Amino acid sequence: MRAVKLERETKETRVECELNLDGEGKSAVDTGIGFFNHMLELLAFHSGMNLYIDANGDLDVDDHHTIEDCGILIGQALRKALGSRAGIARYGSFTLPMDEVLASVNLDISGRPYLVFNCEFQRDQIGMMATEMVEEFMRAFAVNAGITLHVNVHYGKNDHHKAEAIFKALGRALKEAVRVSGDQIPSSKGMLE
């Protein structure tokens, strides 16, 4: 079973994460940030992974540490749950329409972390979540998962729709990339690290 349980505790946050790559898209998420909870629930649903997150952070300061540390821990959980990566599809790509927004997420579970993020938000916040934290979450997740991640919002006006389209497309791309289709390491090098 490709499932892990991890914890991370700093002076700023305490986060617990359980991730099952072969789940049914179920989630239980409590970060203290309503809109971020919603985004992680969408990520779980559209990836087909089961995700449990319990986070307590210094929200009296702002949302940065909590969201970033969730990205770090979910990324680490994904990396650990994949193990040797034998048999995975490796690449994932999804373009998702959400009303007037069109967003694409392309990723490579390569062991080489990199983030390209192209999305302009008009608002500073969606609910209690700073819009700049969408990119910060993606960076923390990509670096700690060891994936190359390209996020592009091609067009759109509504910032809620932009963020939602990104997280849904990420889930769909991950679902494709972690799918087991054989038993070989999907690299001509014979390893993905």
d(CA 88, CA 184): 8
Domains of the chain (ranges plus CATH)? 3-178 (3.30.230.40)
Per-residue pLDDT of the chain (193 residues; tens, 9 = 90+): 799 999 999 999 999 999 999 999 999 999 999 999 999 999 999 999 999 999 999 999 999 999 999 999 999 999 999 998 889 999 999 999 999 999 999 999 999 999 999 999 999 999 999 999 999 999 999 999 999 999 999 999 999 999 999 999 999 999 999 999 876 655 555 555 6
Tell me, what's the pLDDT at 86? Answer: 83
d(CA 68, CA 65): 5
Tally: H helices and E strands in the chain: 4, 10
At which residue do the structure tokens 């990119």 appear? 135
Q: Three-state DSSP class for 35?
A: helix
With the C-alpha atoms ordered 180, 183, 189, 193, is the resulting torsion angle positive or negative? Answer: positive
Tell me, what's the pLDDT at 152? Answer: 99
Beta carbons within 10 angstroms of residue 17's beta carbon: 24
Stated pTM of the model: 0.94
